[in-house]
Amino acid sequence: MGNTEALKNMDRAVQERTKVLFLEHQQRIFKQTDRLFVGLMMFQWIAGIVIALVISPKTWMGPASQTHAHVWAAIFLGGGIASFPVALGIFAPGRIMTRNVIAVAQMLFSALLIHLTGGRIETHFHVFGSLAFLAFYRDWRILIPATIVVAIDHMVRGIFWPQSVFGVLTASPWRWVEHAAWVIFEDIFLIRSCRRSVVEMRHIAERTAQLEAHNQLVDVKVKERTRELFESKEELASEITERKKLKNMMIQSEKMAAVGQLAAGVAHEINNPVGFISNNIEMLEQYTTDYTKILRMVENLQKSIEEENMEKAKSIVKAMSQFEQEINLDYIINDTGKLLQYTQRGIERIQKIVMDLRTFAREDHGAIDFVKIEEVIDSILSIVQNELKYKAELKKNYGDTPLVKCNTQRVGQVFINLLVNAIQAIEKKGAIEVKTYKEDGHVCVDVRDTGKGIEPKNLEKIFDPFFTTKPVGQGTGLGLSVSYEIIKKHGGEIKVQSKIGEGTVFTVQLPVNL
Amino acid sequence: MKRNKHAVIIVFIVWALIVGLGWALLSHYENVPGQSQPLPEHWPLATKVRRTPGLPTLLMFVHPHCPCSRASAGELSLIMAHSQKKVRAQVLFLRPETLSEQWVKTDLWDSAMRIPGVEVVMDDQGKEARIFHANVSGQVMLYDARGNLVFSGGITPSRGHQGDNDGRDAIVSFLTKGIILHKQTPFFGCLLFSSLQQS
């Protein structure tokens, strides 16, 4: 029902637009033809004067002469005939009055030119040519005044000067009808042509209106589709952002999973220095008590000397000497320095582990820095130190490598995954080598282990998400997949070579951006 | 707006009246014939114009510069096309006393020369025109084989205007059928002599 109503409205709009377009087109033709006739009138006026001057410049009386009446007629009557239609054509083009006056004037010009050329039969064609010209208006109604002018001219002259128009003095008073009939004969064809032109103009207007309506419809549809596309683009953009967020979350989760996995080892690494720091503090506490006792004795000795109580001073010195021997003061003094030194080292070690862990585990904001890849590896090694030291001998083989532009946390996450995998691949005791070198515009890092190796059938799958050969609870299956993603994003590559029973080498290649 | 429309209608009426008046004046000028004088009813003895025995004689008097007479020359060529060997036709071109032969030999002279069967003669000082009492250019006289005037007048429908006309019909009718349709017709053209007034 709604669609039918919309179609009806559209039809109505097309009809109204057709009417407007038709009238605009018609008006344009009227104005153009008016302008054409303005030029033609001026031309005919000048042509009439030239004809008069050439054909009949003078009238004679024996050897004497004077300007011929035709010259005056061409100038004044021709000018008079042309003046009004020219003025209307210039100042009121397109009006019905204008084209009717032009039609009348045009036929008057025909008559004038016939007179000026001495009634030549050829000039009579001007009448028929003028009617054809008037048909340019595509308004058959203006042929009526034109025809009436011809008819009246013949009728009036037929009545008053019959010989001038019919050649004989005794012509039938209705002979003018015959002349008019020939004009009407041409009119019939011209009227038919005008009407057909008007029908064609209506068709054109209708088609244009339909085309416009169709274009408007298309325009609306295009706008609608553009809006929909824009909306889907926004949705897509938000989805991409969401996916990026999720991916980052996944990477972070994977990282935290690695941290969790390493937490016990890290705790153990921290616990060791904490243990000996605690022991050292305990010893230092004991030493402090001894130092305090000695200080008290020194204090009492000072007082006795001040009081000049030498007996008391001697007994104090004796007691002090006894106490020094008892506690072995030289050893304590020597040990105190060592204990403080060891404690200091222990604290520094804890600080480093905590800092490395914090650096690795903190939330990633995507910061890119120029870094030495070996520093990143060392930082990661301190986190995995506990796992590493019981299962493998670490061999570092660092080359002279340039700075690389990377996200430290992300690349660190890759090395943690590779090192943990290497450690887990070694069943009893083995070796892990970390080698850095520069090759073909890349900084390369090999992580080689002497573990059990990867089966060839699994080599293709190891970078797939959720693929793992580890027992349940030991791996997420995302480690290598995330590592692959991270290195790809850095414009690098990660490759693997493995042999069952001999070990595996992972090679990370990062482009040198300097 | 309405005032403008009225003004345009008034201007139209004024224009129509002016043009109508001009038209009436032009038509009047072109249709008022020359005044005829009594013509010699019999071939005058004083004339030096020659006749051919047994043939009618057609005389046309022409002012060499009269533009209106071009139409008469055109009509004469039509008459001659119908009856070339049935008449001796002569066109007499006026040569005033003070003017040279060159003054006479205009395009009209050439036109007349080109009409088959027509003799073109120079009428010095208008002597022959005076003998035949012709006073208007384009005036035609037709004498029968015995020297009797059978037709006189113009052979154009109006001044300088070609087309069907009584004069042509009358001459052709007499020459081809021997029937006199009209004895006289109006004639239009320039005056041959300045001393005569055009009517």
Least confident piece of the model among A108-112, B123-127, B185-189: B185-189
Residues B22-57 have pLDDT tens digits of 988 888 887 777 777 788 999 999 999 999 999 999
The whole-angstrom separation of Cα A457 and Cα A68 is 121
Handedness of CA B6, B11, B16, B17 (dihedral sign): positive
pLDDT value, residue B122: 94
Closest C-alpha to A149, from B9, B20, B27 = B20
| φ, ψ at B41 (rounded to 5°) | -75, -25
The whole-angstrom separation of Cα A378 and Cα A408 is 12
Closest C-alpha to A440, from A370, A383, A363, A492 = A492
Give the burial class of A454: count Cβ atoms within 10 A of its Cβ; 0-12 exposed, 13-18 middle, 19 or more buried. buried
Count: domains in chain A: 3
Would residue B150 count as lying in a domain? yes
The whole-angstrom separation of Cα A459 and Cα A451 is 15
The whole-angstrom separation of Cα B66 and Cα A412 is 122
Q: What is the mean pLDDT of residues B12-19?
A: 92
**Same domain (yes/no): A317, A404:** no
Tell which wins on pLDDT, A332 or A358. A332
- Residue that finishes a domain, picked among A361, A383, A412: A361
Closest C-alpha to A118, from A46, A69, A56 = A56
| Beta carbons within 8 Å of A49's beta carbon, 6+ residues apart | A71, A74, A75, A78
Would residue B115 count as lying in a domain? yes
Q: Which of A103-107, A153-157, A416-420 has the highest mean pLDDT?
A: A103-107
**Same domain (yes/no): A296, A398:** no
Tokens at residue B156, please? 């154009």
Count: domains in chain B: 1
The whole-angstrom separation of Cα B104 and Cα B83 is 27
**Same domain (yes/no): A41, A166:** yes
- Residue that finishes a domain, picked among A141, A173, A205: A173
**Same domain (yes/no): A150, A72:** yes
Contact B138, B60 (CB under 8 A): yes
The whole-angstrom separation of Cα B9 and Cα B3 is 10
**Same domain (yes/no): A377, A464:** yes
Whether the CB of A148 is below 8 Å from some CB of chain B: the reply is: no
Q: For residue B119, is pLDDT > 90?
A: yes
Give the position of tokens 């080599």.
A459
Residues from chain B that touch A101, judged by Cβ atoms under 8 A, are 12, 15
Would residue B130 count as lying in a domain? yes
What share of chain A has pLDDT > 90, as a percent? 46
Whether the CB of A80 is below 8 Å from some CB of chain B: the reply is: yes
CATH number of the structural domain spanning residue A480: 3.30.565.10
pLDDT value, residue A129: 93
Closest C-alpha to B191, from B21, B6, B11, B37 = B37
Q: For residue A247, is pLDDT > 60?
A: yes
Q: How far is B53 from chain A (nearest CA, A)?
A: 32
pLDDT value, residue A442: 93
- Residue that finishes a domain, picked among A110, A139, A173: A173
**Same domain (yes/no): A334, A376:** no
**Same domain (yes/no): A376, A437:** yes
Q: For residue A473, is pLDDT > 60?
A: no
Q: Across all residues in chain A, what is the average pLDDT?
A: 87
Mutation site for A-interface testing, chosen from B6, B14, B29 by largest number of A Cβ within 10 Å: B29
pLDDT value, residue B138: 92
Residues B164-177 have pLDDT tens digits of 888 999 999 999 99
**Same domain (yes/no): A335, A391:** no
pLDDT value, residue B72: 92
The whole-angstrom separation of Cα A199 and Cα A324 is 135
The whole-angstrom separation of Cα A93 and Cα A81 is 18
pLDDT value, residue B196: 43
**Same domain (yes/no): A356, A415:** no
Please report which confidence band the pLDDT of residue A510 belongs to, taking 50, 70 and 90 as the band edges: very high
Would residue A183 count as lying in a domain? no
Q: For residue A362, is pLDDT > 70?
A: no
Would residue B7 count as lying in a domain? no
Would residue B47 count as lying in a domain? no
Whether ipTM tops 0.90, in short, is no
Closest C-alpha to A507, from A482, A490, A484 = A484
Whether the CB of A45 is below 8 Å from some CB of chain B: the reply is: no
The whole-angstrom separation of Cα A117 and Cα A110 is 11
Mutation site for B-interface testing, chosen from A51, A54, A55, A60 by largest number of B Cβ within 10 Å: A60
Would residue B28 count as lying in a domain? no
- DSSP-derived 3-state class of residue A258: helix
First to last CA, chain B: 51
Closest C-alpha to A19, from A194, A168, A208 = A208
Q: Which residue among B96, B157, B194 places its CB closest to the CB of A167?
A: B157
**Same domain (yes/no): A348, A386:** no
Domain that holds residue A383: 370-511
Would residue B65 count as lying in a domain? yes
pLDDT value, residue B197: 35
Residues A21-68 have pLDDT tens digits of 999 999 999 999 999 999 999 999 999 999 999 988 888 888 888 898
Please report which confidence band the pLDDT of residue B120 belongs to, taking 50, 70 and 90 as the band edges: very high
Q: Looking at residue B34, what DSSP letter applies?
A: P
Closest C-alpha to A383, from A346, A341, A355 = A355
pLDDT value, residue A474: 61
Q: How far is B32 from chain A (nearest CA, A)?
A: 9
CA dihedral (A107, A109, A115, A118) in degrees, to 10, reads -100
**Same domain (yes/no): A19, A127:** yes
Cβ within 8 Å, pair B26-A73: yes
Q: Looking at residue B136, what DSSP letter applies?
A: B
- Phi-psi group of B37: left, alpha or beta (phi > 0 → left; psi -120 to 50 → alpha; rest → beta): beta
| φ, ψ at A85 (rounded to 5°) | -65, -35
**Same domain (yes/no): A354, A376:** no
Element (H, E) at A140: none
- SS3 sequence, A334-373? HHHHHHHHHHHHHHHHHHHHHHHHHHHHCCCCCCCEEECH
Q: Which residue among A56, A68, A163 places its CB closest to the CB of B157?
A: A163
pLDDT value, residue B160: 77
Tell which wins on pLDDT, A258 or A5. A5
Would residue A68 count as lying in a domain? yes
Would residue A151 count as lying in a domain? yes
Would residue A196 count as lying in a domain? no
pLDDT value, residue B33: 75
pLDDT value, residue B198: 37
pLDDT value, residue A468: 75
Would residue B141 count as lying in a domain? yes
- DSSP-derived 3-state class of residue A224: helix
Residues from chain A that touch B78, judged by Cβ atoms under 8 A, are none
Please report which confidence band the pLDDT of residue A156 belongs to, taking 50, 70 and 90 as the band edges: confident
Domain that holds residue B108: 57-177
CATH number of the structural domain spanning residue B116: 3.40.30.10
pLDDT value, residue A472: 60
